[in-house]
């Protein structure tokens, strides 16, 4: 998985690309750990270019959600497609995390 980040006022957006799996743990943890310094109110994880996500990646999204909540920031998952969308729907995390298309 690769990503680029953009920031606009109090919203940080992460555009993820490729497959998002267990192996991306260190890289995604860096995003999670950067939340306290960023002083943002809203965090968007754009999954439009993610073609596969496993259960560990879902766990990482939950960690991000938890960390953001502790710093009064909101996480939104944007544009999931295909298998990624299906995974979020079956686990009802589309409602839990908040999804925008």
Partner 1 sequence: MNVIHFQKRLQDSRILMVDDSEYSVFLVTEILKNGGYTNVAIASSGAAALDSISAQIPDLIIADVLMPEMDGFELCRRIRALPHCADIPIIVETAMHSQEERVNIFRHGATDLMVKPLNPVELLARVRIHLEKKHLMQDLQNYQHRVEGELSDARKMQFALLPDDDALKACRMRYGLKLSQYYDPSEKVGGDFWMLHPLDENRVLMTICDFSGHGVTAAMNCFRLHAVLHQQAAQYETPGTLLSGLNQFLFSLLPVGHYATFCALLIDTNKRRMTYAAAGSPTPMIHRAGNTQVEKLNGRGIPLGITPDATYETRETEFHPGDALFLYSDAITDCHAPGLVALSEEVIAEQLSLHAKKEWNDLFTSLMKMHQPATQQHTDDVTLVLCQWNGISAHGK
Cα separation of 75 and 82, whole Å? 21
Nearer to partner 1 among residue 39 and residue 86 (C-beta): 86
Report CA-CA distances (Å) from 97 to 37, 43, 49, 56, 60. Answer: 22, 11, 19, 16, 12
Out of 52, 71, 76, 85, point to the residue binding partner 1 (CB under 8 A): 52
- Contact between 66 and partner 1 by CB under 8 A: the answer reads yes
Residues of this chain that interact with partner 1 (CB under 8 A) are 19, 21-22, 52, 54-56, 58-60, 62-63, 66, 83, 87, 89-93, 96
């Amino acid at each position: 998985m690769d990503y680029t980040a953009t920031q606009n006022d109090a919203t940080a957006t992460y555009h993820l690309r490729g497959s998002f799996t267990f192996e991306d743990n260190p890289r995604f943890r860096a995003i999670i750990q950067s939340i306290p310094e960023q002083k943002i109110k809203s965090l968007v994880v754009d999954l439009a270019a993610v073609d596969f996500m496993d259960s560990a990646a879902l766990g990482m999204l939950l960690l991000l959600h938890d960390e953001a909540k502790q710093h009064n920031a909101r996480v939104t998952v944007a544009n999931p497609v295909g298998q990624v969308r299906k995974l979020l729907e079956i686990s009802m995390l589309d409602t839990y995390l908040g999804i925008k298309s």
